[in-house]
Chains A and B, each alone.
Chain A
Amino acid sequence: GENVEQHPSTLSVQEGDSAVIKCTYSDSASNYFPWYKQELGKRPQLIIDIRSNVGEKKDQRIAVTLNKTAKHFSLHITETQPEDSAVYFCAASISGNTPLVFGKGTRLSVIA
C-alpha cells in the first residue's frame, strides 16, 4: 500500500522567512496530494491540494509543487506569520476507492 514520508518533523522560522515541508510517496499511482493545517485543539483544515496532472499550484502565500518522477511534493509558505504556527500534514491517495494516507506531520513554529 501507499506510504507517505514527511520531513522535517519540526521546523522553526523567523517571521517573514519562508518555510518548506517535503513529502515523498511510494505508489506511483497516487494522483491526489492535499495539505492540511491543524492548529492546537482544532480540526485539520485543507490549505491547498494538487493533482498529478499539475506540477505547481499557488494560493497567495502558499504553494505546492509536485515531482511525479521523483515521487515527492512540497509545501512552500512565504512571508510566514505567527498565525502560520501549526502542525501541517501532507497526504496522498490513488483515484478510485482508496482513502488518504497521511504523513506524520510537521510542527511549524513561526517566531515573531
Chain B
Amino acid sequence: DTEVTQTPKHLVMGMTNKKSLKCEQHMGHRAMYWYKQKAKKPPELMFVYSYEKLSINESVPSRFSPECPNSSLLNLHLHALQPEDSALYLCASSLGQNNEQFFGPGTRLTVL
C-alpha cells in the first residue's frame, strides 16, 4: 500500500460540534503531519509527529487536538471551531522528516 488515506472526504460542522479527522498510512513511515490549506495558498504546517510523539506544534489553537494512536494512524480532533477554520486539511507522511512527503487527498472542512 503506497497511499495515505483520509476520512471523511468532506465535513460540515457547526461551531459547537466535536468531530475528528482520520489519516492512515501503511508505508512504514515514522513521521506524520497535519497541514491546513486555504484556497490559492500553500499548505500550512500544523503538527508533526515523529515516532508517534508530537515533535512540532506550530502554535495551533487548542481547538485543534492531534492524536497518534499508533505508527499508522493520525487523528485530528476538532472542537468549537470558527468559520475561518474552514479549509482543506491535509495529512502527510514520510520515512523521516527529511524525506519525500506523501500527501493524503485531504478533508474539506466547512464550519458554519
Decide if B97 touches A44 in the complex (CB within 8 Å).
Answer: no
CA distance A22 to B11 in the complex (A): 36
Given contacts A43-B90, A44-B103, contact A102 B98 (CB under 8 A): no
Q: Which residues on the B side are within 8 Å of A87 (C-beta)?
A: 40
Decide if B103 touches A43 in the complex (CB within 8 Å).
Answer: yes
Q: Which residues on the A side are within 8 Å of B106 (C-beta)?
A: 43
Complex interface bits, B78-112 against A, C-beta within 8 A gives 1, otherwise 0: 00000000000010000001111111111000000
Decide if A99 touches B42 in the complex (CB within 8 Å).
Answer: no
CA distance A97 to B55 in the complex (A): 8
Chain B at the A interface: mostly helix, strand, loop or mixed? loop
Decide if A43 touches B98 in the complex (CB within 8 Å).
Answer: no
CB interface residues, A 74-97, toward B, < 8 Å: 87, 89, 93-97
A interface, size bucket = 20 to 34
Q: Which residues on the A side are within 8 Å of B71 (C-beta)?
A: none
CA distance A104 to B98 in the complex (A): 20
CB interface residues, A 41-91, toward B, < 8 Å: 42-46, 49, 87, 89
Given contacts A43-B90, A44-B90, A49-B100, contact A102 B42 (CB under 8 A): yes
Minimum distance in angstroms from A26 CB to a CB of chain B: 16
B residues touching A (Cβ–Cβ < 8 Å)?
33, 40-43, 45, 48, 50, 55-56, 90, 97-106
What 10 A-B pairs have minimum CB-CB distances, sorted nearest first?
A102-B42, A43-B103, A95-B98, A44-B103, A43-B105, A32-B98, A89-B42, A46-B100, A105-B42, A97-B97
